[in-house]
């Protein structure tokens, strides 16, 4: 459907008349109605927006005499000569509403004030007109900037969530198909094929901590901080440096659980970015976690428990005195402490997700109406 634009309209006045000039070239099919209270105009022509349909309507500050008014369609404009109704006097403005529309401007070539010799009045009117035009330009620039930022944010968030979904979906499909066809055979190869896309997605997941900090999304920071940091510590500081645990099927089970949660979370975010509401996506987002979160916490604790003997044997990441830092750290104790933290925090995280689900699917209370009896 074509959009109707406003043409630029110039106006001037004397004590007895109002002159209007609609800046529209090659006007065709004009629909014009002049009444005592106002003017309606609609036509095709070439204006500020190119060849288009232009339309406007205005209510006059005071009445005009339509019988003594006239207009003519010219090649470069449509001109109106409107006769004021009532005593001869100058109007403070053309339209009843104040401020005037942005497309209505003063025709200084024809403008006459109450004192034609007073050039200061004309300069004041011109200055006011220029100030209003500058304010309008600033407003349009600000609106354009805000809209451009909103569009850029939408595109960025949509493709961020889309790429994250693709990465995690690859891990889910690959591991599921491998288990279906090969079972637990050669789990090290399964780990090597799954860890690269999963690691890339987990690194980009750090951006989910940044998004609420800079205002891209209106969510809290604690939930993504705990999940992203917790997973990446386990992946990059426990699993990747430990070649022995990489062959254990529990690691691939953990990858499958992590990725399955995200496969349903990111499409829900993608739909939210483009203001698309889906009951199916919403239900999956707030329901699939119920079996997967407990499985994830159990798998994380199990992988930590299986990794501890390797770090006891190799003393990797452990610090023994004396050293340049003058501190000691036994890395297996760190792993056991981290495992205990996961088991302690798991109930509160599950409760938080359950409260979110209840708020999302809480039945709406029926509206009640109170009648006041006299």
Catalytic residues: 293, 300
How far apart are the C-alpha atoms of 190 and 174, rounded to whole Å?
8
Three-class SS state of 50: strand
Q: How many helices (H) and strands (E) does the chain have?
A: 8, 8
How far apart are the C-alpha atoms of 137 and 141, rounded to whole Å?
6
How far apart are the C-alpha atoms of 242 and 310, rounded to whole Å?
7
Least Cα distance to 231 among 283, 168, 174, 290 occurs for: 168
Q: What are phi and psi of 229, to 5 degrees?
A: -65, -40
Three-class SS state of 185: coil
Query: Could you tell me if 36 and 66 are in contact, meaning their C-beta atoms sit under 8 angstroms apart?
Result: yes
Three-class SS state of 74: coil
Task: Provide the token pair at 147.
Answer: 């809209």
Least Cα distance to 164 among 204, 192, 195 occurs for: 204
How far apart are the C-alpha atoms of 24 and 365, rounded to whole Å?
56
10 Å CB burial of residue 178 (0-12, 13-18, 19+) is: buried
DSSP 116-134: TT-HHHHHHHHHHHHHHHH
Q: Which helix (H) or strand (E) holds 106?
A: strand 104-106
How far apart are the C-alpha atoms of 104 and 177, rounded to whole Å?
68
Local structure of residue 362 (DSSP, 8 states): P
Query: Could you tell me if 85 and 38 are in contact, meaning their C-beta atoms sit under 8 angstroms apart?
Result: no
Give Dmax over CA atoms of the chain in angstroms. 106
Distance of CA 113 to the CA centre of its chain: 49
């Amino acid at each position: 459907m074509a959009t109707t634009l406003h043409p630029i309209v110039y106006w001037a006045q004397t004590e007895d008349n109002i002159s209007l000039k609609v800046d529209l070239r090659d006007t065709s099919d004009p629909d014009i109605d002049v009444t005592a209270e106002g003017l309606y105009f609609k036509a095709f022509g070439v204006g500020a927006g190119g060849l288009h349909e232009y339309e406007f309507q205005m209510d006059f500050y005071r009445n005009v005499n339509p019988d003594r008014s006239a207009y003519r369609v010219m090649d470069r404009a449509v001109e109106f000569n409107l006769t004021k109704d009532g005593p001869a006097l100058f109007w403070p403005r053309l339209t009843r509403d104040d401020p005037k529309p942005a497309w209505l401007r003063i025709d200084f070539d024809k403008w006459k004030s109450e004192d034609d010799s007073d050039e200061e009045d004309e300069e004041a009117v011109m200055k006011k007109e220029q100030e209003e035009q500058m304010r309008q330009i600033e407003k349009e620039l600000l609106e354009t900037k805000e809209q451009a930022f909103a569009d850029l944010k939408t595109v960025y968030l949509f493709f961020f969530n889309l790429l994250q979904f693709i990465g995690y979906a690859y891990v889910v499909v690959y591991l599921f198909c491998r288990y279906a066809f090969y079972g637990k055979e050669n789990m090290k190869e399964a780990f090597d094929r799954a860890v690269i896309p999963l690691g890339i997605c987990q690194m980009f997941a750090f951006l989910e901590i940044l998004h609420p900090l800079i205002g891209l999304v209106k969510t809290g920071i604690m939930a993504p901080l705990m999940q992203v940091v917790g997973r990446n510590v386990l992946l990059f500081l426990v699993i990747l440096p430990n070649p022995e645990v990489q062959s254990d099927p529990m690691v691939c089970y953990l990858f499958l659980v992590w990725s399955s949660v995200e496969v349903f979370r990111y499409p829900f975010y993608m739909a939210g970015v483009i203001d698309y509401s889906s009951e199916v996506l919403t239900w999956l987002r707030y329901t699939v976690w119920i079996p997967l979160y407990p499985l994830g916490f159990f798998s994380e604790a199990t992988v930590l428990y299986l990794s501890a003997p390797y770090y006891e044997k190799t003393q990797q990441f452990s610090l023994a005195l004396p050293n340049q830092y003058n501190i000691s750290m036994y890395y297996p104790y760190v792993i056991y402490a981290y495992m205990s933290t996961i088991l302690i925090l798991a109930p509160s995280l599950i409760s938080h997700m359950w409260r979110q689900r209840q708020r999302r699917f809480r039945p709406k209370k029926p509206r009640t109406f109170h009648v006041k009896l006299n």
